Amino acid sequence: MDFLVKFQQYSDKVEKWLQDNLQFDLNCLERTVYESMKYSLTAGGKRLRPVLSLAVCDMLNLDEEKVLPFACAIELIHTYSLIHDDLPCMDNSDFRRGKPTNHKVFGEAMAVLAGDGLLNLAFEIMLNESIKEENNSLYCARAAKLIADASGTKGMIGGQVIDIEAVGKKITYDELCQMHKKKTGALIKASILMPARLFNVPDEITESLEIYAESLGLAFQIKDDILDVEGNSQIVGKPVGTDEKNDKSTFVTLLGLNKAKALLKESTQRAADSLKNIDNSGFLTEMACWIAERNK
């Protein structure tokens, strides 16, 4: 099956779960925060992280219905992080996915609360799964902890702190890698490892998935940095050149465009090679190539 067709099928399953299970009350007194949450959640993203979870689930022949809630919880966390990233006190972005950013529509205060609401809702979803009689509560808790670590100060938030404090400073290549391993890579890695935690798959499979996840996360960030230089803002869905404008260190500013592209190729190949001993890994192998070649 064509890669993009399969990607869309996974994405459609995520959309259906979100529509079926997230019923925002738009008639209550606090409806504005729900409108704000829904605005960003339905703004059209790639749903890359939950797609990765479902692809791992397929590859390992796991129960998709048990993986979906956790995969969608990760998407809620990712969406909250974008809302907060776009705030004037962070990246000060006016557009995201081709639309005005959340704070441009609802104001800064409501955007902060909407992000907080999505984060809380993600953990509500995972806790609900943990207390269902038909689920293994220990494995659910392990999956939730993996996601909590990836999205907290040990992961995404910690990476954002490093990013903020690095503005206007010269940082080393190792520091840049550490920053993006946390800021971007941690939640991607959690998306890939979560199904393995949820079903306690063998260590040798998990080890291969870890190599794949770390390589894919690095490739994703390098490509983002390249798109900020070479991308078309109308295709990317947000302004390009913002890293240079905000005086941020990137793989392009640190290594130069050609070396960044070489590192992207190397990371992509490492991701693909890590899955060679796992059956039915074709889609995830193609995913690595797609991430390296995408235009948005």
CA distance 91 to 73: 24
Residue 237: what pLDDT?
A: 59
pLDDT in tens, 88-102: 999 899 999 889 999
Residue 265: what pLDDT?
A: 97
Residue 98: what pLDDT?
A: 86
CA distance 288 to 16: 25
Nearest CA-CA partner of 210 in 141, 275, 153, 157? 275
The CATH superfamily holding the domain 3-293 is Farnesyl Diphosphate Synthase (1.10.600.10)
Residue 276 phi, psi dihedral angles, 5° rounding: -60, -30
Residue 235: what pLDDT?
A: 62
Measured from the Cβ of residue 39, the count of other Cβ atoms closer than 10 Å reads 19
Residue 245: what pLDDT?
A: 64
Residue 167: what pLDDT?
A: 87
Per-residue pLDDT of the chain (296 residues; tens, 9 = 90+): 699 999 999 999 999 999 999 989 889 999 999 999 999 999 988 999 999 999 999 999 999 999 999 999 999 999 999 999 999 999 899 999 889 999 999 999 999 999 999 999 999 999 999 999 899 999 999 999 999 999 999 999 999 999 999 988 889 999 999 999 999 999 999 999 999 999 999 999 999 999 999 999 999 999 999 999 886 676 665 666 666 666 788 999 999 999 999 999 999 999 999 999 999 999 999 999 999 999 87
| SS3 per residue for 192-253 | HHHHHHHHCCCHHHHHHHHHHHHHHHHHHHHHHHHHHHHCCHHHHCCCCCHHHHCCCCCHHH
Residue 234: what pLDDT?
A: 66
Domain ranges of the chain: 3-293
CA distance 209 to 29: 45
CA distance 241 to 227: 9
CA distance 192 to 203: 14
List b or e across 205-215, with b for residues whose CB sees 16 or more CB atoms inside 10 angstroms.
beebbeebbbb
